[in-house]
């Protein structure tokens, strides 16, 4: 089970699951976050597309160009999927150009995706017979 909240709350482990891996944000996502933070974005609010749109509208054209440049260099599949939903994998040159040509609504969505990519994910595994197993009806009598 992948879970973001498992980093903060041990509910799954208390139910008998075992933490098997933890995935930190990628260096590229952290680099984008650093630029966004430098431009006044709150990293806690990146999941809000309306917040991102309002922030983008308050920025200069130079700042928006900087965001486009940084996003265009990071071709994560979650970003590329936005432009090529009919294909399983996008092409980096096409993606980069579409980001550079993007309107601020599209940028607001890509920043939202970046917010999700910044989350640390925890992966848990439930073994049959573990302490979290549900009792069988015959065991209740």
State the pLDDT at residue 7: 64
Using one digit for the tens of pLDDT, what is the confidence trace for 96-131?
Answer: 888 999 999 999 999 999 998 888 877 877 776 655
With b meaning 16 or more CB within 10 Å and e meaning fewer, what string describes 85-99? eeeeebeeeebbebb
pTM of the model: 0.73
Per the structure, the complete domain to which residue 11 belongs is given by: 2-128
In a domain, 20, yes or no: yes
In a domain, 136, yes or no: no
Give helix 61-73 / helix 92-100 axis angle, nearest 10°. 170
In a domain, 141, yes or no: no
State the pLDDT at residue 138: 44
In a domain, 134, yes or no: no
In a domain, 140, yes or no: no
In a domain, 30, yes or no: yes
In a domain, 139, yes or no: no
Using one digit for the tens of pLDDT, what is the confidence trace for 28-72?
Answer: 899 999 999 999 999 999 999 999 999 999 999 999 999 999 999
Task: Report how many domains make up the chain.
Answer: 1
In a domain, 69, yes or no: yes
């Amino acid at each position: 089970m992948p879970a973001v909240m498992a980093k903060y709350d041990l509910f799954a482990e208390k139910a008998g699951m075992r933490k098997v891996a933890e995935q930190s944000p990628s260096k590229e996502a952290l680099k984008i976050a650093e630029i966004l933070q430098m431009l006044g974005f709150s990293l806690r609010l990146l999941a809000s597309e309306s917040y991102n749109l309002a922030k983008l509208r308050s920025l200069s054209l130079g700042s928006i160009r900087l965001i486009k440049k940084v996003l265009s260099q990071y071709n994560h599949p979650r970003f590329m999927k936005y432009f090529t939903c009919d294909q399983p994998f996008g092409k980096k040159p096409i993606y980069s150009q579409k980001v550079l040509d993007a309107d601020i609504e599209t940028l607001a969505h890509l920043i939202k995706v970046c917010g999700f990519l910044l989350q640390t994910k925890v992966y848990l595994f439930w073994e049959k017979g573990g302490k979290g197993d549900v009792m069988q009806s015959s065991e209740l009598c």
